[in-house]
Chain A
Amino acid sequence: MPMTDTSRDLFPGALEMMILESLRRQPAHGYALVQHIQLRSKNLLQVEEGSLYPALQRLLKAKLVKAEWGLSSTNRRVRTYQITPAGLRRLEQQISSFERMFEGIALVLNPGKSPAS
């Protein structure tokens, strides 16, 4: 059985973290978010565009972002997402725990070098 819903998440929560980080810089609608993530990762991360939406719904439900219908700079009707204070706090927690994890992984992979030197 070939395809079905293979998640393109790197690890659970990674997509949410990137969405929150993008939204922290500036509010955006779904399409812009996809563009932004791909641009920032220099196309290293190929996100299936659709999988953004379940993640956005989860964030909405947890009240980490809020959404509003409005008009974009190009005059399109869009639903713009904005990070909430709770979202900001969550983002900081996640980044710090992610950095610690990354540090740990780096130490295991390159035992000789000390990271962040």
Chain B
Amino acid sequence: MNWIPRIFRRRTLFDDLSEEMRLHLEERVEQLTREGLSPQEAERQARIAFGNLAVVEERSRAVWQWPTLESIAADARLAVRQLRRSPGFTIAAVLTLALAIGANSVVFGVLNALVLKPLNVPRPQSLFTIERGGYKDQATSYPDYLDLRDRNRTFEALTAYILVPVGFDTGKNPSQAWGYEVAGNYFQAMDVQPFLGRFFSVADEHGPNSAPYLVLSWSYWHTHFQDDRGVVGRVVQVNKHPFTILGVAPPDFSGTLIFFYPDFWAPMVQQEQIQGIDVLNNRGQRNIFMVLGHIKPGVTQAQAIADLNSIGSYLEKTYPKEDAWMTYSLARPSLAGDLLGPGVTGFMTGMMLLAGLILLAACANLGSLFSARAADRSREVALRLALGSTRRRIVRALFTEAVLISLTGGVAGLLGSVALLQRLSVWHPIPQYPMHVPVYPDAKVYLVALFLALASGFLFGAVPVRQILRTNPYEVVKAGSAGIIAGHTSRRITFRDVLLAVQIAICAVLVTSSLVALRGLERSVHSSFGFDPRNVMLADTDLSMSGYSGDQRPAMQKRMIEALQPIPGVKSVGFISQVPLSGGSSTEDVFTSQATDLTPSKAAANSVAVFSISPDYFRAAGTALITGSIFSWQNSKDAPPVAVVNAVFARRIFGSVSNAIGNYYKRENGTRVQVVGVVEDGKYYQLTENPRPAEFLPFPQNPTHLAALVVRSDRDPQQLAAEIRSTLRGLDSGLPFTIQTWNEGLDIALFPSRVATVALGILGLMGAMLSITGIFGMAAYSVSRRLRELGIRIALGAQHKEILQAALGRAVKLLAIGSAAGLALGILATRVLAAVVYQATPRDPLVLAGVVLAMALLGLVATWIPAQRALSVDPLVLLREE
């Protein structure tokens, strides 16, 4: 190729060319002088005959250049020079874009990692979880699972798992760990290979408690076994039962939920040892968290559903007592199907939309800045046109500036967002759960960010194009700067005004939604939970972790209560199987006392929250008794069954609260229970749940392996926690406890709305910043363009008010129009928020007032400096300048 040396020769080539053209003109001038013209006239004639020297030279040089690439480079060099001359403008523009692109790539990064990207298993496209009935319930009983696994013809293999916390003891310090209790075929069905040792399989199982094996996750092995390759074959204690470590899973396999990393996997047949319950033969106990598997190649989703439904109707017919609503649907397993999928997807889509709005607002902002800049430079443009530049060339130079800014801003934003995403990925939001937000950015994130940067560059670069194309060099040069002003400050609405109004509207939408979210969070923290979490410590454990069973459990539970009561400063100690809003749930169907047919479809109330409590629980929790009384320690195992219910339960089963006292209902297992008291309603499983029925049973009558102690006191939480810990250690040193304040315990319930609020708050802040820069830019520009006019007005005796009106009237008007439009839109948009943020309603006078106040404040901040400048105009100085 001969172009390589040509690049180096080019300097000489171009020098030769210039020299040659200069000599040409010289020769012509000489000739003309000889013919009798004056030197000046000869020079003029020669130039006319030659044509536009600069254009000729450019066209001659162009012959040697790679047409596009090099002229782009030349344009870029020019653009860099131009931008350097106005550093303030450049920095503001780059920062604006960096923020907007950064916000977009963070939101897209999360959307991509949680929603778009499938699970990290082979062939994720064909992997589905099975959901049952209209409620999209994923819970399945083990016998039903076995039927589904063995009778289906459309899945390669159906497997299942349960999430379980256990006491994990390697011989030293026992600690809590989280695992998946899985069906024997789990690893084969997921098609993963061990990193170390081997995985268990169906062949290892021979009935209950026949396969005491464990597979460790890579990260647990890494952190708790220090990468010791000798762990294979070692025996560890899980809930006081010996389990043999068979192998270690590969580092890139962290279970089949995207955000919940297990520490180990163990066979489900060990359920009795691990969970202390054995419901492997109980068809009515749906305690499997998820059933999932790959659809066979060539089988459609509809075929798979039809196949499952036919098994479902067989199960309904064969086991009418246990199985109802056995119709199935499929969902993606990564976000636990419909449990979190729609919420997360909806929220992230909403966030993406808002982030897109931010970018749009930034583009509108930059578009009006660019068009102001183009107006300022109209003389330069006119001169360049007059000197022979084409309009295309000028427009291209403008686009080059825009794209240069957008790429610089885009790269800066991307770098920032990558750093943020990486920090998010190692974040461990709730200490007691192995939860992760694995949002490592991938190539898709980079591509989207770059694409958005380029697209927005072209978008805001296009704003001043019409202006350039309309420029008439003759007019501009003739009129001077005064003429341009007259042309651009006419009364009609300009495109720039529209852009600013749109931008302010977008920002008002963002401010509205973030205020709505903040307010929702504030309310959800202060709303009635049906208990009072202040001044309460919680001590959580699971008795099966220490091997308690049968009658040992209520005895131990009672001992724990009695041990804590004498601690100084403790007012009351209550016991409950599971603390409300702590993440777990246990529900059953209840029936009227006359009911004989206990199939789920005949139930008087479905999904009733079930709690086992001690008589003192309500006092410790601060739950108010509405009517009746609370059972006492006399209601032991053999006494007639009694219960306290909440108001929703009383109204739904007995018609009214007063009717409930002394009346009977039937539980799912057929027990007839008498209601002795009614307590206030509360939140039990989710902050956003609708009021639901709940029953509270004496724990000796409804035994449980779970144990949470609710300790109300006026002591300092730190000291109290230490004392509770040492007291409980004294009872059983091998029982792991989680001790925290109740407010800390609410973290998991408040997590979604907190995340939503922080995210929306940041977006709202960005929206506010963008509207400040937008209004400031417009106000500062219009003041600077009209300084002379303002000076004359002041000289003629105008008052401050009139000056301000002249200088900023338009900006303020646009702010008002934009804010009103944005507020209206924001109210529509925040309906979406209600799904995530508890009690998010835009029809809240505080929110409305807040938005109006915020926008007014933003306007004040943004117009302050330009207003000061307008007021401090000294007419004498200005008039002297021209």
Query: With A48-B50, A50-B56, A78-B23 given, can you name 7 additional A-B contacts, CB distance below 8 Å?
Result: A31-B24, A31-B28, A50-B50, A54-B62, A57-B17, A57-B60, A79-B19
Could you say which residues of chain B place their CB within 8 Å of the CB of A61? 63-64
Could you say which residues of chain B place their CB within 8 Å of the CB of A69? 16
Q: How far is it, in angstroms, between the C-alpha of A8 and the C-alpha of B32 when the chains are bound?
A: 23
User: B16, B27, B56, B61: which contacts A51 (Cβ < 8 A)?
Assistant: B56
Q: When the two chains form their complex, are residues A79 and B28 in contact, meaning their CB atoms are under 8 A apart?
A: no
Q: When the two chains form their complex, are residues A5 and B59 in contact, meaning their CB atoms are under 8 A apart?
A: yes
Q: B419: CB under 8 A from chain A?
A: no
How distant is B471 from chain A, measured CB to nearest CB, in Å?
11
Chain B positions within 8 Å of A, measured between CB atoms, are 16-17, 19-21, 23-24, 27-28, 49-53, 55-57, 59-64, 388, 390
Could you say which residues of chain A place their CB within 8 Å of the CB of B51? 48-51
Contact with B along A17-60 (1 / 0, CB 8 A): 00000000000011100000000000000001111011011100
Which interface class (under 10, 10 to 19, 20 to 34, 35 or more) fits A?
A: 20 to 34
Q: How far is it, in angstroms, between the C-alpha of A34 and the C-alpha of B773 when the chains are bound?
A: 59
Q: When the two chains form their complex, are residues B55 and A5 in contact, meaning their CB atoms are under 8 A apart?
A: yes
Q: How far is it, in angstroms, between the C-alpha of A31 and the C-alpha of B64 when the chains are bound?
A: 22
Q: A76: CB under 8 A from chain B?
A: yes
Q: When the two chains form their complex, are residues A49 and B23 in contact, meaning their CB atoms are under 8 A apart?
A: no
User: A4, A5, A31: which contacts B27 (Cβ < 8 A)?
Assistant: A31
Q: Which of A4, A50, A56 has the most CB of B within 10 A?
A: A50
Could you say which residues of chain A place their CB within 8 Å of the CB of B49? 48-49
Q: When the two chains form their complex, are residues B63 and A49 in contact, meaning their CB atoms are under 8 A apart?
A: no
User: B17, B28, B64: which contacts A53 (Cβ < 8 A)?
Assistant: B17
How distant is B311 from chain A, measured CB to nearest CB, in Å?
78
How distant is A56 from chain B, measured CB to nearest CB, in Å?
8
Q: When the two chains form their complex, are residues B27 and A49 in contact, meaning their CB atoms are under 8 A apart?
A: no
Could you say which residues of chain A place their CB within 8 Å of the CB of B55? 4-5, 50
Q: When the two chains form their complex, are residues B56 and A76 in contact, meaning their CB atoms are under 8 A apart?
A: no
How distant is B154 from chain A, measured CB to nearest CB, in Å?
68
Q: List 12 A-B contacts (CB under 8 A).
A: A49-B51, A50-B52, A50-B53, A51-B51, A53-B56, A53-B57, A54-B59, A54-B63, A57-B17, A57-B60, A61-B64, A78-B23
Could you say which residues of chain B place their CB within 8 Å of the CB of A50? 21, 50-53, 55-56
Q: How many contacting A-B pairs (Cβ < 8 A)?
A: 64
How distant is B381 from chain A, measured CB to nearest CB, in Å?
14
Q: A77: CB under 8 A from chain B?
A: yes
Q: When the two chains form their complex, are residues A30 and B63 in contact, meaning their CB atoms are under 8 A apart?
A: no
Q: How far is it, in angstroms, between the C-alpha of A1 and the C-alpha of B16 when the chains are bound?
A: 33
Q: When the two chains form their complex, are residues A79 and B63 in contact, meaning their CB atoms are under 8 A apart?
A: no
How distant is B819 from chain A, measured CB to nearest CB, in Å?
43
Q: When the two chains form their complex, are residues B50 and A79 in contact, meaning their CB atoms are under 8 A apart?
A: no
Leading 10 A-B pairs by shortest Cβ distance: A50-B56, A50-B51, A57-B63, A54-B59, A48-B51, A53-B60, A50-B50, A54-B60, A49-B50, A57-B60
How distant is B65 from chain A, measured CB to nearest CB, in Å?
11
Q: How far is it, in angstroms, between the C-alpha of A31 and the C-alpha of B32 when the chains are bound?
A: 13
Q: How far is it, in angstroms, between the C-alpha of A5 and the C-alpha of B54 when the chains are bound?
A: 12
Q: Which of B19, B56, B57 has the most CB of A within 10 A?
A: B56
Q: How far is it, in angstroms, between the C-alpha of A56 and the C-alpha of B57 when the chains are bound?
A: 12
Q: Which of A5, A58, A78 has the most CB of B within 10 A?
A: A5
How distant is B489 from chain A, measured CB to nearest CB, in Å?
27
Q: When the two chains form their complex, are residues A49 and B28 in contact, meaning their CB atoms are under 8 A apart?
A: yes
How distant is A6 from chain B, measured CB to nearest CB, in Å?
10
Which residue of chain A lies nearest to B53 when distances are taken between CB atoms in the complex?
Answer: A50
Q: Which of B17, B20, B50 has the most CB of A within 10 A?
A: B20
Which residue of chain B lies nearest to A49 when distances are taken between CB atoms in the complex?
Answer: B50
Q: When the two chains form their complex, are residues B388 and A4 in contact, meaning their CB atoms are under 8 A apart?
A: yes
> Provided the pairs A31-B28, A48-B50, A58-B63 are in contact, do residues A53 and B21 lie with their beta carbons within 8 angstroms?
yes
Q: How far is it, in angstroms, between the C-alpha of A86 and the C-alpha of B482 when the chains are bound?
A: 60
Could you say which residues of chain A place their CB within 8 Å of the CB of B20? 29-30, 53, 79
Which residue of chain B lies nearest to A46 when distances are taken between CB atoms in the complex?
Answer: B49
Contact with B along A65-98 (1 / 0, CB 8 A): 0010100000011110000000000000000000
Which residue of chain B lies nearest to A62 when distances are taken between CB atoms in the complex?
Answer: B63
Could you say which residues of chain A place their CB within 8 Å of the CB of B19? 79
Which residue of chain B lies nearest to A48 when distances are taken between CB atoms in the complex?
Answer: B51
